[in-house]
Amino acid sequence: MRLSARIKCFRYLVYAYIVLISICGGAQLVIGAFLLWTHRQYSGLVNNQFWEPFGLIIALGLVSQLLCYLGWTSTSKKHRCYLGTFCAFLVALIVVQFLISGWAVAAKHQLITPAELAIESSFHQFISTDGASTDKTHIWNRLQRDYQCCGYSSIHDYSNRKRDIPTSCFDSINNKLYSVGCMHLLVKGMEGNMIRVAIVAIVAALIQSLGIFCVIQLVMLLKKPKMQLPNGDSRLHSMRKMRPREMVPLSTTATSSSSGIILPTTASSTMATAPMGTFGHSSTSGTMAKPPIAQKPVVPKIEHPIIKH
């Protein structure tokens, strides 16, 4: 397969890969926003904590969309440097998502105690406030109605503190009281959301790592072609046209066939062709040529041997 055909093939593969990354990033945005919205409904019970994993999922979705724009632009322009940058950022994003997945699993076990303490403090504040149990819009009444639970740990939390059981603890359909405590259900729901964050992060990382080979291959194919010289040296082939060098004539006399003008000759060539002792007027310039300067002959110095008697 020719080089241009291979580049075209891998370009379409990279386009499909970028579309897949964009879909994955959009799914991260939707899932992260839904989990954050669910958590924000009852985040006041835990002092507005433990929202960071959901925010990270949304941020990863936004970063994925930005990388898709960079990758699409680089592929359409066949810009090798930008494609390499896109590949490097994509590898970094995949590594970060694996790390976030592990962090979410670890945070699942660490949030139990702080969440339980925050929920208990919020419940004590609820039952100590006059008129809070009759307020249907209060967060604890909404929690007991939505989760079908009653009290912090059980329904006895109201009777032990000599408080009336709120109407949100009644099941109007089955005409019975909810007996399960809200703390266990709320903490269990938060742990489930942490597991969902870990699953979303690791699935996105696996999907985004499927086509990274195509990007690397396209970067390698977009290298500048090399020209093999006869002596075996391999140099980069320059597409620019080299300017022709001005050649110096080697002959002693050169004439222009078109204009009839005789080009000047050098003094050395004139002296080489002229006979010794005769220097006339130059036929080309009309000036007297200077005779060469005679050099003194070098007489070797002979040392006489000394004869000893």
Kindly tell me if the per-residue pLDDT of 266 is higher than 70.
no
Question: What does pLDDT average to over the chain?
Answer: 76
Tell me 280's DSSP state.
-
Kindly tell me if the per-residue pLDDT of 251 is higher than 50.
no
Three-state SS for 44? helix
Average pLDDT over residues 81-101: 89
**Given this model, what pLDDT does residue 34 score?**
94
Kindly tell me if the per-residue pLDDT of 277 is higher than 60.
no
Pairing of strands 170-171, 176-177: antiparallel
Work out the pLDDT band at 272, boundaries 50, 70, 90. very low
User: 54 has which bridge partners?
Assistant: none
Strand stretches in 117-208, DSSP E: 170-171, 176-177
Between helix 112-128 and helix 182-208 the angle, nearest 10°, is 140
Nearest one of 108, 61, 106 to 205, comparing CA atoms:
61
User: Cα separation of 55 and 178, whole Å?
Assistant: 33
Q: Is the pTM of this model over 0.75?
A: no
Query: Which spans in 42-174 are helix H?
Result: 52-77, 80-110, 112-128, 139-147, 156-160
Between residues 49 and 257, the one the model is more confident about: 49
Kindly tell me if the per-residue pLDDT of 201 is higher than 70.
yes
